[in-house]
Structure 1
Amino acid sequence: MFSNKTESDASKPLNDINSADAVPVNNTDRYPPIPLPAPPLRPGSQSKDSGPEQGAHLMETGAAGGEEFVILEQIVVIKNIVFDDQSIRKGFIRKVFGIFLVQLLFTLGVMAFFLYHEPTKYFVQKNAIVVIVAAIINIMVAILIVCSETVRRKHPVNLVCLAIYTVTMSLLLGALSSFMNADVVLLGVGITAILVIGLSVYALQTKVDYTANGAVLVTFSMFFLLLIAAMCWSPYGGYNNLPFSLFGALLGCFYLIYDIQMMIGGNHQYQFDPEEYVFAALSLYVDVIQILIYVLRILEKFN
């Protein structure tokens, strides 16, 4: 009652019956195997095999658009969770501030050398070609860092470009300070240091998210550029007048708060990528230099 064998089947040897060709008739005819597709991923679910490699594989094999979106969204969420880890974030902040302090110390040293070393001061004042070459290299390296993601992320190319930018900017500030009174320069550096410390503390403890107002800063920056173009043709003192300098220093202060909040991340809407430590240090450095330049312009008006 448990078998449907025929006489020919019964006469076969036992080895033949147990061979791979002896497939039960019921399993083949009545219950054929049915391949079942893998269940689709749902938002909020994460399989053990999900990750960047599987996401790339699904996009290459033509997976559905909804599944691609879910995979990419999961990758972004995982990346943000990793950066939200306190040890990784603190390491990122230490690295950025370390590079930033080295830049500032080097720039202050170059400014002091140009300010108190008389042969260097006279050489720069009589040879404008030094300032022109430094300005051209500075602009080219800045464009390279900002526009090329590979340059600002690949080590050690990113550090080399940042060092070139810092050296050229230091030369420009040294040349500028060589035409100014030493007491005015020292007072400007002191005021800038106080402003930077105060703004940093404010950016760290305020509940206002300045990163959500990036469009406002861009608008003011465009207005500032138009103001530069207008004041250059103005018969009332050019772009070196007091209102222009006050507006430039104020804009630099807002940008400093914005970049500090971008660096610390947390609950802010936007933040720097963990691999953008060079770009973050460059942003802070440019903000401080902008504040210093316009503070010196303001002090020159009262000197």
Structure 2
Amino acid sequence: MDQTNGSAAEGAELHPPPYSPPYYEQNSYTGVAYQVGKGNIAVISPPGSYNDPAHPEDPPAFGGPQHCSQAPPVYTYNAEETDFSVATIRRGFVRKVYLTLMVQLLFTVGIICAFLYWNTLKTWVRENYWFSYSMMSVVVVLIVVLSCCDNIRRQVPLNFMALGLFTVAEGLMLGSVAVYFNAEAVLWAVGATALVSFGMSLFAMQSKWDFTAGAGCMWALAWSLFTFLLMCAIIRSQYLYIFYAYLGTVLFSLYLVLDTQLILGGKHRKYEISPEEYVFAALNLYLDIVTLFLLLLQIINFCR
């Protein structure tokens, strides 16, 4: 019985005394040791005075420095760094597009030269006219795939494989068409296309006129030109063909300016192509240049 009471008394001594505000106001705090568990571990609170940070004893006077009420620093939007980063991304995108376009054009010119100066291949293409139509079908299918399937043209290396396949098919189609023209006329058309493309690209880079805002009007003009082509196929007049080729050259020169401004972007452009769409941008420029080549080839051939 005594042992039970003794253990109870020892247990009671292990707990801290209850909180009593008058007691702590009258007596100074000297520190208390508490036994934790049954081991030899104790938590000792050293004596000392502690300030209440929430309710300071000596608050600052009215109008004085109040550290607790200081506002956080104002967030400043650094527009110069943001503009620089956007411009850097856009420049890298432009370099990637024109490097891809240059490789496409060099490869295409090489294929055309093979069709022009390899007599066996030239003779075979003229005897098998189905080759040209089959290449046209492949080109149309690849254009639709690259234009509509964004998961293909954005996924590396699938986008480069599809673009390379399209470039080969387009080069074979152009080579099969070039065998029906004189080699000198084809070379003149290549030079004229390079000159027009270079001039229109410089104009698009330096001009402040926003051609991207008139994309809808140019689309309507393109359909009008297609209707005019059907009329030329029915009437079959050489002068009408020349006029059609001139109109097409002007229209696709404007398209080259439009697509160049879509790639360059800028504050004075209404629309721009996303930097992720470098394959689609190179495809647009390549198609503009190829169409210019075919139209200029017709003009030079008719004039000769």
The TM-score normalised by the length of structure 1 is 0.72
Runs of 4+ residues deviating >6 angstroms: 15-18
- State the alpha-carbon separation in 2 of the partners of residues 127 and 235 from structure 1: 25
- State the alpha-carbon separation in 2 of the partners of residues 84 and 145 from structure 1: 29
- State the alpha-carbon separation in 2 of the partners of residues 17 and 228 from structure 1: 100
Q: Where does residue 180 of structure 1 map in the other structure?
A: 181
Q: Where does residue 24 of structure 2 map in the other structure?
A: none
The 5-angstrom pairing of residues 144-159 of structure 1 reads 144-159=145-160
Q: Which runs of 5+ in 2 are unaligned?
A: 1-14, 21-74
SS in 1 for 2:271: coil
Q: Where does residue 104 of structure 1 map in the other structure?
A: 105
The 5-angstrom pairing of residues 150-169 of structure 1 reads 150-169=151-170
CA deviations over 1:149-208 (Å, ceiling 9, x no partner): 111111111111111111111011101111111111111111111111111111110110
CA deviations over 1:133-157 (Å, ceiling 9, x no partner): 2111111110011111111111111
Q: Where does residue 255 of structure 1 map in the other structure?
A: 255
Give the length in aligned residue pairs: 232
- State the alpha-carbon separation in 2 of the partners of residues 278 and 210 from structure 1: 21
**Structure (1 or 2) with the larger CA radius of gyration:** 2
- State the alpha-carbon separation in 2 of the partners of residues 115 and 84 from structure 1: 47
Indicate the structure with greater helix content: 1
CA deviations over 1:17-48 (Å, ceiling 9, x no partner): 79xxxxxxxxxxxxxxxxxxxxxxxxxxx9xx
Q: Where does residue 85 of structure 1 map in the other structure?
A: 86
Q: Where does residue 67 of structure 1 map in the other structure?
A: none
Are 2:259 and 2:284, in contact at CA under 8 Å, matched by a contact in 1?
yes
Point out the more displaced range, 275-284 or 150-159.
150-159
Q: Where does residue 130 of structure 1 map in the other structure?
A: 131
Aligned in 2, Cα 1:83/1:95: closer, same or farther, shift over 3 Å? farther
Are 1:162 and 1:278, in contact at CA under 8 Å, matched by a contact in 2?
yes
Aligned in 2, Cα 1:293/1:16: closer, same or farther, shift over 3 Å? farther
CA RMSD, Structure 1 to Structure 2 (Å): 2.4
The 5-angstrom pairing of residues 131-280 of structure 1 reads 131-237=132-238, 241-267=241-267, 268-280=269-281
Are 1:138 and 1:164, in contact at CA under 8 Å, matched by a contact in 2?
no
The TM-score normalised by the length of structure 2 is 0.71
Are 2:238 and 2:302, in contact at CA under 8 Å, matched by a contact in 1?
no
- State the alpha-carbon separation in 2 of the partners of residues 83 and 279 from structure 1: 25
- State the alpha-carbon separation in 1 of the partners of residues 131 and 106 from structure 2: 22
- State the alpha-carbon separation in 2 of the partners of residues 82 and 155 from structure 1: 28
Q: Where does residue 301 of structure 2 map in the other structure?
A: 300
SS in 1 for 2:120: helix
Deviation at 1:235, TM superposition (A): 4.6
- State the alpha-carbon separation in 1 of the partners of residues 219 and 179 from structure 2: 33
Aligned in 2, Cα 1:284/1:233: closer, same or farther, shift over 3 Å? same
Amino acid at match of 1:243: F
- State the alpha-carbon separation in 1 of the partners of residues 287 and 124 from structure 2: 26
Aligned in 2, Cα 1:14/1:192: closer, same or farther, shift over 3 Å? same
Deviation at 1:83, TM superposition (A): 9.1
Aligned in 2, Cα 1:170/1:16: closer, same or farther, shift over 3 Å? farther
Point out the more displaced range, 170-179 or 220-229.
220-229
CA deviations over 1:61-91 (Å, ceiling 9, x no partner): xxxxxxxxxxxxxxxxx9xx68962221111
Amino acid at match of 1:192: T
Deviation at 1:16, TM superposition (A): 7.6
Aligned in 2, Cα 1:196/1:14: closer, same or farther, shift over 3 Å? same
SS in 2 for 1:284: helix
Amino acid at match of 2:190: V
Aligned in 2, Cα 1:14/1:190: closer, same or farther, shift over 3 Å? same
Are 2:132 and 2:177, in contact at CA under 8 Å, matched by a contact in 1?
no
Deviation at 1:230, TM superposition (A): 2.4
